Amino acid sequence: MTNTKRILVVDDDEALCTALEAKFGNKGYEVTICKDGVECMEILKKEKFDAILTDLHMPNLDGFGVLEQRGETVNADAPLYIITNLGSDQYCEKAMDLGAKKCFVKSLVTLRDVVEMVHREIT
């Protein structure tokens, strides 16, 4: 059995996903990428992750929907982090009320900081 930590990144921004995959990969994480919440939920029902990092605004099922439905998956207890362009405090507050561990606003934080913070919290 491997001790490699697994991260699920859910975002419809391909460049962001590629960057996060590289940064987490450089720290030794196995990274799975999903483009929307529906695909995310299918994977969360079958595979176990050490952390989930999701956008809020996505096609088909948004990040709020992922937060609301993840309790029905094998990842109900996995820490879920939000990374979003929606800069209003009300969005982060709602996400936190639904169980998000932290909410990162893309324009206010570097990806390096996001990766470092998640890494510190799950290792």
pLDDT at 116: 97
pLDDT in tens, 48-85: 999 999 999 998 999 999 999 999 999 999 999 999 98
Two tokens, residue 24: 């987490």
CA separation for the pair 116, 110 (Å, rounded): 10
Every domain of the chain and the residues it spans = 6-122
Whole-prediction pTM: 0.94
What does the pLDDT read at residue 112? 95
Question: Where residue 120 falls among pLDDT bands split at 50, 70, 90?
Answer: very high
Protein fold of 6-122: Rossmann fold (3.40.50)
Cα–Cα distance measured from residue 32 to residue 6, given in angstroms and rounded to the nearest whole number:
8
